[in-house]
Amino acid sequence: MSAGGAVEPGLPAAAAAPSPAPARDPGPGHLFRPISAEDEEQQPTEIESLCMNCYRNGMTRLLLTKIPFFREIIVSSFSCEHCGWNNTEIQSAGRIQDQGVRYTLTVRAQEDMDREVVKTDSATTRIPELDFEIPAFSQKGALTTVEGLISRAISGLEQDQPTRRANEEAVAERIDEFIAKLKELKQVASPFTLIIDDPSGNSFVENPHAPRKDDALVITHYNRTLQQEEMLGLQAEAPEEKPEEEDIRNEVKSGGAVEPLGTRITFHITDPSDMTRDLLKSETCSVEIPELEFELGMAVLGGKFTTLEGMLKDIRELVTKNPFTLGDSSSPGQTEKLQEFSQKLDQILEGILKAHFIMDDPAGNSYLQNVYAPEDDPEMKVEHYKRTFDQNEELGLNDMKTEGYETGLPAQR
């Protein structure tokens, strides 16, 4: 069964009124400020606009904000005091990402229902246990929670039930039964799976355990299919020419091919001088610091050419500015964990705390400087390994035909 969103008679700022009210200044500072309940200067811009439901003037509010562990978004809401119509949606303020993303969340407890979710309009939402799907572009983008997504789906199904009961009573009864199942999910009587698959790469599901790894959440980045490219309007664009050599900048993408083997670098930080080592992290590389129970997934922070110190500082900024562990959204336990994480990371930066820094790159395109070269580094272990099927899937290698081109023979599996 699939559920589309309700047909919305008016979009935020659907049409400008003849005499718009002056826009409110969002305040000094950056255009996109990290979302925070404690930032009094972060105020929405208000624009008087036409309500497409009653054709009188309503109010559109726009908030440009930034979500760490994610990116910049535009939150917009429209309300009409005359007819009561209101509408809220989000849009990504950035470009379409190089890869799609799929979030697979196992919901086991009520706390999982409270996870923040950014769902763009190009994302498909699925609950396999109910064979339930919300197709892409059937709803506007939303900044909500897992519970909010389910409630929104229930509202979309309930909207036309009076008409169905009058014309197709049997269909209405089946939908009533399905709505009851969705409502049962909100009680979390048994675990279920929520999948958000976004070929644009711009959706997001919160990890409430950050900076630690989230065992209930699996994040998969993948190469889009031609059909997905066409759906996003990208098929007509000319492909980018990639340089033959690696483009080394503050943010980098490997211009070389995927290596035959993946690379795992385990480095033991024992001295403050280790902070000056050069580091190249490709966007396919994950980072782990076991002593902090910290794991940074693929594509987070993108590709970077920096030093070990620069990388650790980027991680600290990413984690400590997470709005879901600050302000009204935080719990005392989360705040304490965040403070403890920051203190330990500072101790590593200062050389007080010894720790292991692990880079795992299935594409084999990441690097950490060996200051003892050409001799082996006693504190560094470099392993080359054969990729798993899932890793090849994420790199888009499983569907590539690499054999039989010259002879016309089919590739061997």
pLDDT in tens, 98-150: 889 999 999 999 999 999 998 988 899 999 998 888 888 887 788 889 999 99
pLDDT at position 90, please? 63
Residue 72's pLDDT band, with cuts at 50, 70 and 90, is low
In a 13 Å sphere around the CA of 257, the CA atoms on its Cβ side amount to 4
Cα separations in angstroms, 73 against 70, 92, 204, 356: 9, 4, 11, 35
Integer Cα distance of 382 and 333 in angstroms: 37
Query: Which has the closest alpha carbon to 296: 212, 234, 185, 217?
Result: 212
The Cα–Cα gap between 373 and 176 comes to 69
Dihedral (Cα; 358, 208, 284, 278), 10-degree rounding: -40
pLDDT at 364 over 50: yes
CA dist., res. 106 & res. 195, Å (int):
9
Judged by DSSP in three states, 116 sits in: strand
Confidence label for 319 from pLDDT (cuts 50, 70 and 90): confident
User: What is the SS3 assignment for 331-359?
Assistant: CHHHHHHHHHHHHHHHHHHCCCCCEEEEE
pLDDT at position 43 is 67
* Nearest to 222, CA basis, from 393, 93, 386: 393
CA 57 – CA 82 distance, rounded (Å): 8
The residue count of the chain comes to: 413
Asked if residue 93 has pLDDT above 60, the reply is no
- Of 277, 283, 263, nearest to 358 by C-alpha is 263
Q: Distance (Å, rounded) from C-alpha 403 to C-alpha 26?
A: 57
- Gap between the Cα atoms of 282 and 298, Å rounded: 9
Percent with pLDDT over 70 in the chain: 73
Q: What does the pLDDT average to over 360-376?
A: 90
Are 52 and 10 in contact by the 8 Å Cβ rule? The answer is yes
Average pLDDT value for the chain: 77
Residue 34 has pLDDT above 60, yes or no: no
- The DSSP letter of residue 123 is -
Question: Average pLDDT of 288-312?
Answer: 84
Question: Is the confidence at residue 16, as pLDDT, over 80?
Answer: no
Q: Output the pTM of the full model.
A: 0.54
Predicted confidence at residue 41, as pLDDT, reads 57
Q: Between residues 68 and 298, which one has the greater pLDDT?
A: 298
The answer to whether residues 269 and 350 touch, using CB atoms and an 8 Å cutoff, is: no
Assess contact for 70 and 357: CB atoms under 8 A. Answer: no
pLDDT digits (tens, 9 = 90+) for 232-286: 877 654 444 444 433 333 444 444 568 889 999 999 999 999 999 989 888 889 9
The residue ranking higher by pLDDT, 39 or 86, is 86
Rounded Cα gap, residues 235 and 341, in angstroms? 44
Using an 8 Å Cβ cutoff, are 319 and 211 in contact? yes
pLDDT at 157 over 60: yes
With the C-alpha atoms ordered 154, 155, 160, 162, is the resulting torsion angle positive or negative?
A: positive
C-alpha triplet 228, 229, 232: angle, nearest 5°: 85
